[in-house]
A and B are shown apart, each in its own frame.
Chain A
Amino acid sequence: VQVSKMNKDAQMRAAINQKLIETGERERLKELLRAKLIECGWKDQLKAHCKEVIKEKGLEHVTVDDLVAEITPKGRALVPDSVKKELLQRIRTFLAQHASL
């Protein structure tokens, strides 16, 4: 018999995520992030990096996994600080609003 062990933190996180999705805040945050990344040129930078990777690998042999493995770390690193700060701020605000729940 497998007992799923979820400590309180995990439960907490799950509850918060659920709240995020229910209120639609997660979607809003995602859209905001996407817009900001395009604005700051993150997408273009990453695209240039992609082109290099693909040229390296050869156009025919590109797979999703390859791309994900190559691009995601770079993408995470390329996010400008201002965007990161703003997003974190919004998340904290959301958490504070729903603290009593």
Chain B
Amino acid sequence: MKMEEMSLSGLDNSKLEAIAQEIYADLVEDSCLGFCFEVHRAVKCGYFFLDDTDPDSMKDFEIVDQPGLDIFGQVFNQWKSKECVCPNCSRSIAASRFAPHLEKCLGMGRNSSRIANRRIANSNNMNKSESDQEDNDDINDNDWSYGSEKKGLWYLPFQNPNSPRRSKSLKHKNGFSVCTSASNTLPLLFSSSGELSNSDPFKYNNSTGISYETLGPEELRSLLTTQCGVISEHTKKMCTRSLRCPQHTDEQRRAVRIYFLGPSAVLPEVESSLDNDSFDMTDSQALISRLQWDGSSDLSPSDSGSSKTSENQGWGLGTNSSESRKTKKKKSHLSLVGTASGLGSNKKKKPKPPAPPTPSIYDDIN
């Protein structure tokens, strides 16, 4: 039979309807048959009556519809008011607070060591016992800043105690900023680049430094003999990394010590590393004036080929170390200055070398 011979359009509606009904009946019959087969198989395999339970069990699992209970009949919030005994400290703790308490109690949580160390530091300072709650950080901070203020502002003569920077919001991990809001006598001593990573084990207040306002003079001295101590701009805290921490320079460390302990303070460890970013303004100005006659700025650090490692060469060597600096600071003119102070701080015990034999070097290069 060919499809062309037939055309549905030739049929009238009644016939179409009849056909539709037939199709429908076929479909229903198919479903019924399918169902029969399922049942028959279930009967023969033995699982047809499996979901029938006896009336007694049915009653047990009836849905509960009383107010205050869920459909299983359990009371909501039943365990909140229960108390557990901590196996560590043998105190009775509310169930919902038990997990955080255990974390602090066993010293295994993320913040537990931080807070414990802070407490120790604070209790050493003030000889007071801290409250036990961890979320009293804010209150504690305010207490300490108040206390330090009452001690005669030994720590920071020029800092406004009510400065908004004292708020908690300043505690963030990265960056350095100028410390004070008032007179900025020490802006250059604080590093202005780089980021501290939180790798230091002594973490105070979620930053990597110590708040020097809270430390007594003895504490400060001992701290400064073991730690870097440079005050970060952003958080106004002392760096707790080692004395050779790469984030800060010896100049900065020395300045901090001078500031805190008097002009006679010296760095506990004398370094001769070349890694120096600092430049004293006065020194650099003197050197710049000395170099004024040298108009060429072609003395870029790229002439590593001609540089010799002897310290007397000055510029050549300086360019080596300043080259690394240049990648950080990207200021070519500073390389000269950096070089000069690099030389200056490299040899702390020697006086600065006289104006190096630049004419000869220039002769070589040019």
Contacts and interface: CB of A to CB of B under 8 A. Distances in A.
Nearest to B9: A99
B22 A54 contact: no
A91 B36 CA distance: 25
Contact of B43 (A8, A59, A84, A92): A59
Interface string B6-33: 1111010001110111111101111111
Given A59-B43, A67-B40, A84-B24, A37 B1 contact: no
Nearest to A91: B20
B15 to A, nearest CB: 7
B223 to A, nearest CB: 75
B35 interface: yes
Contacts of A17: 23
A40 interface: no
- What bracket does the count of chain A residues touching chain B fall in? 35 or more
A65 to B, nearest CB: 9
Contacts of B15: 9, 12
A87 B24 contact: yes
Contacts of A98: 8
Contact of A12 (B11, B20, B23, B36): B11
A47 B39 contact: yes
B8 A12 contact: yes
Contact of A72 (B8, B11, B20, B32): B32
Return the 6 tightest CB-CB contacts between A and B, nearest first.
Answer: A75-B32, A99-B8, A91-B20, A72-B32, A67-B36, A50-B39
B6 A15 contact: yes
Contacts of B158: none
B24 to A, nearest CB: 6
Contact of B6 (A12, A50, A62, A95): A12
Contact of A64 (B8, B19, B29, B40): B40
Contacts of A101: 3, 7-8
Contacts of B36: 64, 67-68, 71-72
A77 B37 CA distance: 19
B29 to A, nearest CB: 7
B6 A92 contact: no
A77 B78 CA distance: 51
Contacts of A67: 36, 39-40
24 contacts: A8-B6, A9-B15, A15-B3, A16-B19, A16-B23, A29-B27, A30-B30, A33-B27, A51-B49, A54-B43, A59-B48, A64-B37, A67-B36, A68-B33, A71-B32, A71-B35, A75-B32, A76-B28, A76-B29, A88-B20, A91-B23, A92-B17, A95-B19, A95-B20
Given A54-B43, A99-B8, A100-B8, A88 B37 contact: no
Contacts of A62: 40, 43-44
A37 B31 contact: yes
Interface string A1-13: 0000010110111
A26 B11 CA distance: 22
A33 B23 contact: no
Nearest to A79: B28
B27 A87 contact: yes
A71 B39 CA distance: 10
A43 B35 contact: yes
A29 B29 CA distance: 13
A13 B7 CA distance: 11
A67 B15 CA distance: 33
A11 B6 contact: yes
Nearest to A72: B32
Contacts of A47: 39
Contacts of B19: 12-13, 16, 95
Contacts of A15: 1, 3, 6
B21 A88 contact: yes
Interface in B78-93: none
B32 A76 contact: yes
Given A9-B15, A100-B9, 15 more contacts: A6-B1, A8-B6, A12-B6, A12-B8, A15-B6, A62-B43, A67-B39, A71-B32, A71-B35, A72-B36, A87-B27, A88-B21, A95-B8, A100-B7, A101-B7
